[in-house]
């Protein structure tokens, strides 16, 4: 496995983990639910995508990219939809 791929992979995973840490920090520190949604949807999706790509680079078979990429896509789609649903529910009835 070429040195470049390993370096690139580890860098991406490190970045991804960074994003996830920030998302967790945001979830903890941000005052109300709406703002926490940002942390959940955006930062988590980005973090996970980066980790997935990094893992794909690290693994020796290129075919591993397909399942990992699919995971990233699904998390992105579901994250967005659920973010929308929670926000919509909140707009109708303020924080129960």
Partner 1 sequence: MSPVVLFDAALALGVLGCAALALTLRDRTGTVAAFMLTGLLVALSWLRLGAPDVALAEAAIGAGLTGALFLRGARRLGPLRARPPAPAQAAAAALGAAVLSAALLWAFATAPAESLYPPRVAAALEDSGVSNPVTAVLLNFRAWDTLLEIAVLVVALLLVMTLSPPRVIPDKLGALVQPFARIVVPVAVLVAGHLLWQGAEAPGGAFQAGAVLAGAGLALVLGGVRVDRRVLRRALTALALAGLAVFTLAALASQAVTGALLGYPDGQAKAWIIAIEGALTLSIAATLCLLFTGYGRRSAR
Q: Which residues bind partner 1 (CB under 8 A)?
A: 70, 73-74, 77-78, 80-81, 84-85, 88
Smallest gap, in angstroms, from Cβ of residue 88 to partner 1? 5
CA distances from 62 to 17, 32, 47, 56 (A): 22, 42, 21, 7
Residue closer to partner 1 by CB (options 29, 89) is 89
Smallest gap, in angstroms, from Cβ of residue 72 to partner 1? 12
Smallest gap, in angstroms, from Cβ of residue 13 to partner 1? 14
Residue closer to partner 1 by CB (options 18, 83) is 83
Q: Helices in 30-95 by DSSP H: which ranges? A: 33-38, 44-58, 65-92
For the purposes of burial, counting CB atoms within 10 Å of the CB of 85, is it exposed (0-12), middle (13-18) or buried (19 or more)?
A: exposed
**Phi, psi at 53, each rounded to 5°:** -60, -45
Residue closer to partner 1 by CB (options 32, 92) is 92
Residue closer to partner 1 by CB (options 4, 67) is 67
């Amino acid at each position: 496995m070429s040195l470049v791929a390993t370096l690139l992979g580890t860098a991406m995973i490190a970045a991804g983990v960074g994003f996830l840490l920030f998302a967790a920090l945001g979830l903890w520190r941000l005052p109300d639910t709406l703002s926490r949604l940002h942390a959940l949807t955006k930062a988590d999706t980005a973090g996970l995508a980066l980790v997935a790509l990094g893992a794909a680079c690290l693994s020796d078979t290129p075919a591993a990219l397909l399942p990992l990429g699919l995971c990233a896509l699904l998390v992105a789609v579901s994250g967005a939809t659920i973010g929308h649903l929670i926000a919509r529910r909140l707009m109708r009835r303020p924080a129960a």
